[in-house]
Structure 1
Amino acid sequence: MKKIFLLLTLCSILLTGCNNDNDNSTPTLNAAYLKGTWVEKAPAENYVFKFEDATTTLLYQGEISTENYNYAIQDGRLVISDPEDETRSFTYDIEIVDQNTFKLTTLYFYLDCANCEQTVSTFKRQ
Structure 2
Amino acid sequence: MVYEDAHTLAFFPLAPATRGHTLVVPRAHSADLWAMDETAAQHLFRTVLLVGGALRAVLRPDGMNVISSAGAAASQSVFHTHVHLVPRRPGDPMGPIWPPKGAGFRDEDDPAADALAARVCAAIGRPGR
Which TM class, normalised by the smaller chain length? Answer: under 0.3
Rg: which structure is higher? 1
Name the structure where strand makes up a greater proportion of residues. Answer: 1
| Bigger RCO (CA 8 Å, 6+ sep) | 2
**TM score, norm. by length of structure 1:** 0.24
